[in-house]
Amino acid sequence: MFSCNKDLDNLDVQSDAEFAFPLFYGKLDLEDIIQRTADSSSLKIDENGNMTFIYSGDLVSRTSKEIYSQIPPIPALLTDTFYSVPVKFANNIKLRKAKLTTGNLSFLFKSYHAQDVTLTITIPELQKNGKAYVLKRFVNYNGTVPVNETLLINDIAGWTIDTPKDTLNIRYEAIKADGNRDTLSEFGMLATNLQFSYVEGFFGYEVFPIKRDTIELEIYKNLLGGEVNFEDPKVTVTVRSSFGFPTRSQVVVAQFRGKNGQLFDLESPFVTNGFDFEYPDINSVGTTVITPFKFNKLNSNIGDIINANPIYLDYQINAIANPDSNTDIIGFMTDSSFFVVNVAVELPMVGRAKNFTITDEFQVDFGKLEDFKDPVFKLITESSMPIDLDLQLYFIGSDGNTLDSLFNDTKPVVKAAPIDALGNSIGKTKFEQYIPISTEQLSRIQNTKKILVAGSISTSNKGLTPVTIKANQGIEVKMGVVTKLKSKL
């Protein structure tokens, strides 16, 4: 019945009303920030909140099947009824004990006796259940001499070779049909296909090649400039070994590469001479021993290299078995023995940064920003991190062009928290910033599709003081705005 003749839904009300309201707030732990701006999978945090970037190479393993697939063949030519075969192989490999999973024995001989012969072969060092290996055979005389005989014993699996004196004794007894003991001629033996579940001995000096690999240092992915100095960078080589003999590293290559192609060789006595891997003793068969070796700034030039901000590490580290060729060291291995080598670059977050520049971008939806008129944003940061952060935002349009920037130049938005003499954060620093945006600027950035953030990070005292960055440190961010509003909000 009554109505107003103005359509308020479409009425444009021109007002100078100025509203103040909060936009967002939140506490960002450093862990969150790093997850957003860096390779979070590389960040390790201990129970005390200490953070370390760990960039790890591939796990490289070698197994006994790859290294020693089987015991070399053991040949013997018996010149008498009792004969000791020295069990020594090439490369000074000595066999003390082996539990066989497969194996073939072959005997061949000639009998010049014009009568039947009963043959008994005994090998005391080849045992099963405490009993020596005994083979009996009847050699039939068929009217002609010599009688050529070849005995093929295909399966000695489950037998154990036990040669404490590095010899294998073979004895045979040939009893003729008339009851007299005699000898046989050209008596030979060959043990082949000797695979084992356990073997004990000296396995010789052997170089085991390990695959070459590279490690990318993601922390520098977004680095545009500046300096970052880590106080205690490390290259760790972690070896897990269940081989029971000495092994030593052989660094073939350990070279860092800079962004511009410059090369930095890792230099250390341990690169030159190698370092020994720990291994289980003979009473610890089946256990795995870990060798955590670190190239650090005390034993190498890693400090200098890392602080040159390299982008990846190129490395190949082989393993040398029995590097000193000490045949007195009796080792062991099983058919499941292995070693695994892992190389990593560890960067504990203790150090200093100066104008360490990062960049990142994220999508935005400014939505009703068009309804703002001459807004003044108020940004409050309260940081427990001992770093200063200067920031610039670039507003990017749909076609990728830069529409505008937030500031004329990079401006500080976070101030470093106070620190103690050791560089540990001991409080918070609050910093307020008013950011006016003109209507003209607002119009320019209205169609922003993403924001490119360029940040410059410096640790306390303009990057001159080493500080400790911990996961529980963070920053509280709050933003509000005072703005006039256009009508249709």
Partner 1 sequence: MKITLSAILLTCFLMGNAQAPFYQVNSGLNAVGNSMISDILPEKKITLITGHYNLSAYHSAFSYGDFIKSENNSALEIDAKNAFSQLDANNDLWLDTEFKTLGIGFRLGKLGVGFQHSLTAFNVLNYPKDLFGLLFLGNSQYIDKEVQVGPQFTGMAYNSFGFGLGYDFGKLKLTGRFNWLSAAAGAQTKNNDVLLYTNPEFYQLRLTTNYELNSSNLINPDSLGESNFISRLSFDGLFKSNTGYSLDFAANYNLNSKTSIGGSIRGLGQINFNTNAKNYRSNKIINYDGIDIGNFITGDSLSLASTIDSLGDLLKFDESNRNFSIRLPFHANFHAQYAISSKLIGMAGMQYSSINDASFTSFTAGISFQPIKAIRLATNYTYIPSAPANIGLHCSFRFWLIELAGGTDNVLAGFDPKSTKYGTGYLGLRWIL
**Which residues make up the interface to partner 1 (CB under 8 A)?**
1-6, 8-28, 32-33, 36, 362-369, 371, 378, 380, 451, 477-482, 484-485, 487-489
CB distance 318 to 248 below 8 Å = no
Nearest one of 232, 218, 296, 302 to 264, comparing CA atoms: 302
> What is the number of alpha carbons within 13 Å of residue 375 lying toward its C-beta?
22
CB distance 68 to 333 below 8 Å = yes
Could you tell me which residues come within 8 angstroms of residue 448 by beta carbon, excluding any fewer than 6 positions away? Answer: 364, 366, 395, 396, 397, 403
**Least gap, CB of 242 to partner 1 (angstroms):** 42
**Least gap, CB of 367 to partner 1 (angstroms):** 2
Measured CA to CA, the distance from residue 201 to residue 224 in angstroms comes to 56
**Least gap, CB of 375 to partner 1 (angstroms):** 11
**Least gap, CB of 16 to partner 1 (angstroms):** 7
Measured CA to CA, the distance from residue 106 to residue 318 in angstroms comes to 38
Q: Which helix (H) or strand (E) holds 40?
A: none
**Least gap, CB of 441 to partner 1 (angstroms):** 15
**Least gap, CB of 27 to partner 1 (angstroms):** 8
Decide whether 136 or 488 has the Cβ nearer to partner 1. Answer: 488
Decide whether 26 or 225 has the Cβ nearer to partner 1. Answer: 26
Decide whether 83 or 377 has the Cβ nearer to partner 1. Answer: 377
Decide whether 205 or 377 has the Cβ nearer to partner 1. Answer: 377
Decide whether 72 or 412 has the Cβ nearer to partner 1. Answer: 412
**Least gap, CB of 484 to partner 1 (angstroms):** 7
**Least gap, CB of 273 to partner 1 (angstroms):** 48
Decide whether 136 or 368 has the Cβ nearer to partner 1. Answer: 368
**Least gap, CB of 449 to partner 1 (angstroms):** 10
Decide whether 12 or 178 has the Cβ nearer to partner 1. Answer: 12
Strands 331-334 and 185-202, by their bridges, are antiparallel
Note if the bond before 280 is cis, omega within 30 degrees.
Answer: no
Nearest one of 472, 453, 461, 479 to 385, comparing CA atoms: 472
Measured CA to CA, the distance from residue 200 to residue 244 in angstroms comes to 9
Both tokens assigned to 283: 């009473």
CB distance 194 to 93 below 8 Å = no
Both tokens assigned to 243: 């081989």
Decide whether 177 or 481 has the Cβ nearer to partner 1. Answer: 481
Could you tell me which residues come within 8 angstroms of residue 284 by beta carbon, excluding any fewer than 6 positions away? Answer: 244
Nearest one of 374, 401, 386 to 468, comparing CA atoms: 386
Decide whether 261 or 367 has the Cβ nearer to partner 1. Answer: 367
Measured CA to CA, the distance from residue 202 to residue 95 in angstroms comes to 6
CB distance 341 to 61 below 8 Å = yes
Both tokens assigned to 381: 């940061």
